[in-house]
Amino acid sequence: MAEFALDCLGEACPVPLMKTEKKMAEMAVGDVLVVNIDHSCAMKNIPEWARKQGHNVEIEEVDDGEWEVIIEKTK
């Protein structure tokens, strides 16, 4: 049940999503990934991708234009 962080601040689409996909593939079921983003489109497409994959997702707006997407790997 480890927690990982992925810093995608300053990255443009689709790099945050690609990095998230890659990182999630390396993780075990039950692990949590916290993705830091400041790209307004990634704040929509990363949660959407994760939900479609069936993972648990939360978005938290941590600052003006900065979000943390918290994904729990479920399968």
Partner 1 sequence: MSGFRAFFDKLGKNKFYVMIFKNPFTYVTGAILLSIFQVVTLAVTGEPWGVSGTFANWGAWLYQLVGGNVDKWYYFSSEGAQATLARGFLDDPGTMRNLGIIFGALAATLLASQFKLKKIKSIRQVVAAVLGGLMMGYGARLAFGCNIGALFSGIASLSVSGWVYAIFLFVGAFVGSKLLAKFFM
Partner 2 sequence: MSENNMEATTSTPVAAPEATEATDGAQATSIRRARAPRKPKKNQIPIGMLVVLGMVVVGIVLASRSSNLGFFWMTGGIFGFILQKSRFCFTASMRDPVISGSTSVTRAVLIAFAVTTIMFTAIKYGAASMGLPIPGSSYVVPISFATVVGAFIFGVGMVIAGGCASGTLMRVGEGFTMQWLSLLFFVVGSLIGAAHFGWWKENFIVHGPSIFLPDHFGWMGAVVLQLLVIALLYRAAMLWQKKKMGTDE
Span between the terminal Cα atoms of the chain, in Å: 13
Which of 29, 44, 54, 74 binds partner 1 (CB under 8 A)? It is 44
**65 lies in the binding site for partner 1 (CB under 8 A):** yes
DSSP secondary structure string, 36-53? Answer: EE--TTHHHHHHHHHHHT
**46 lies in the binding site for partner 1 (CB under 8 A):** no
User: Shortest distance, CB of residue 22 to partner 2, whole angstroms?
Assistant: 11
Name the 3-class secondary structure at 19: helix
User: Shortest distance, CB of residue 59 to partner 1, whole angstroms?
Assistant: 11
Q: Please say if 41 is a catalytic residue.
A: no
